[in-house]
Amino acid sequence: MLIPITKNSPLPAYQQIFNNIEKRILTGELQPEDPLPSIRQLAQDNLVSIITIRRAYSELERKDLIYSRPGLGSFVAQFDANKRQELQIELLRPLLVETVHKARELNIKPAKLVDLLQKIIQEFYAKGGEK
């Protein structure tokens, strides 16, 4: 599994790996019970240390996105559609909070911000942005 790691990113490599795998799980690219590459294999594939992968996997386990079975490896955890949506919203929320803070700094009224978001959503979906 190749994961694009940007060397000059402000995010450490383990966080970039975590983010990539989390996204693959939350979009359904990786399904429950799918096996993940071994820590050693993923480290080798992406030219990072085993410690880096171990830390990313540890964070994924902490968030209950994956689980490990001694001697068998790591697997995508089971969760239902409601849990997946909760996790997606949890991922999206900080971006929206940041947007609301910026709008408030610029003295943009909440109603205007909602109108802008609705307009952006309409434009996006009108251009075929829906999956």
**Residues 67-123 pLDDT 10s:** 999 999 999 999 888 988 999 999 899 999 999 999 999 999 999 999 999 999 999
Q: How far is the C-alpha of 68 from the C-alpha of 58, rounded, in Å? A: 10
Selecting from 3.20.20.140, 3.40.50.2300, 2.30.40.10, 1.10.10.10, what CATH number does the domain 13-76 have? Answer: 1.10.10.10
Query: Quick count: other Cβ atoms within 10 Å of Cβ 64?
Result: 12
Domain ranges across the chain: 13-76, 81-126
Residue 67: enclosing H or E segment and its boundaries? strand 66-69
Q: What angle do CA 91, 131, 60 make, to 5 degrees?
A: 30
Condensed to tens digits (0 to 9), the pLDDT of residues 90-103 reads 989 999 999 999 99
Q: How far is the C-alpha of 10 from the C-alpha of 6, rounded, in Å? A: 9
